Amino acid sequence: MRHNAKVQTFGLASGPRKALLRGLVNSLVEHGRIKTTLAKAKELRRHVERAVTTSKDQTLHARRLLLSRYPNEKTVSMLMSDIGPRMKSRPGGYTRILKLGKRPGDNADMAFIEFVDYAPKAAAEVDVKEVAKAKKVAGAKKAAKKKGILKKQGADRRTRRKMHA
């Protein structure tokens, strides 16, 4: 009976969970900001904060430690050459989590996780594009669902006519 679990498992075994977190770290380092569920963002924050703190050291040992944890050369080189020096003066708190609300499909809490010095090209432009993209995807899904339903209804109608004829 373990009441105070220190790690969020997401219902995954250790291997898939480690792969998930590695992928999230890679994406965050590459893009500077990602959209994910709130629970994943909170767990990801622990890993990214440790990686940035390690990368601030700028030694071969730090690079090898990061490569052992995140075996992606591009991610490690960005941490060592860009993010580590950028955060050199900060004592911690390299990321922020912005809550977005519930996801329509499964009502999961969504959030942006980003580095504190992240600056989008144009904040309003990013939000407008994201909203437009979400509407377009939702419209396409609705149309595809409706088309599938109509196709199925037509097939059902034809089979009933054959049975009664």
Beta bridge partners of 143: none
Question: pLDDT value at position 153?
Answer: 72
Backbone region of residue 11 per phi and psi (left: phi > 0; alpha: psi in -120 to 50; beta: other values): left
| Positions in the chain short of pLDDT 50 | none
**Portion of the chain with pLDDT greater than 90, in percent:** 65
Sheet holding 95-102, edge to edge: 33-37, 109-115, 95-102
Question: What contacts 24+ positions apart, CB below 8 Å, involve 71-77?
Answer: 71/22, 72/22, 72/26, 74/26, 74/30, 75/25, 75/26, 75/29, 75/30
Which CATH number fits the domain that encloses residue 91? 3.90.1030.10
Number of compact structural domains in the chain: 2
Question: pLDDT value at position 144?
Answer: 64
Give yes or no: residues 20 and 61 share one domain.
yes
Give yes or no: residues 37 and 81 share one domain.
yes
CB 72 within 8 A of CB 140: no
- The SS3 of residue 97 is strand
Distance, in Å, from the CA atom of 19 to the CA atom of 70, rounded to the nearest integer, reads 9
Distance, in Å, from the CA atom of 163 to the CA atom of 136, rounded to the nearest integer, reads 41
Residue 109 sits in which domain range? Answer: 1-119
Give yes or no: residues 89 and 15 share one domain.
yes
Residue 92 φ/ψ, nearest 5 degrees = 155, 180
Give yes or no: residues 28 and 105 share one domain.
yes
CA atoms 80, 83, 88, 92: torsion sign: negative
Give yes or no: residues 57 and 134 share one domain.
no
For the stretch 6-45, pLDDT in tens is: 888 999 999 999 999 999 999 999 999 999 999 999 999 9
Give yes or no: residues 56 and 124 share one domain.
no
Give yes or no: residues 80 and 144 share one domain.
no
Give yes or no: residues 59 and 28 share one domain.
yes
The model scores a pTM over 0.75: no
CB 38 within 8 A of CB 100: no
- What percent of the residues of the chain are helix, what percent strand, and what percent coil, each to the nearest 5? 60, 10, 25
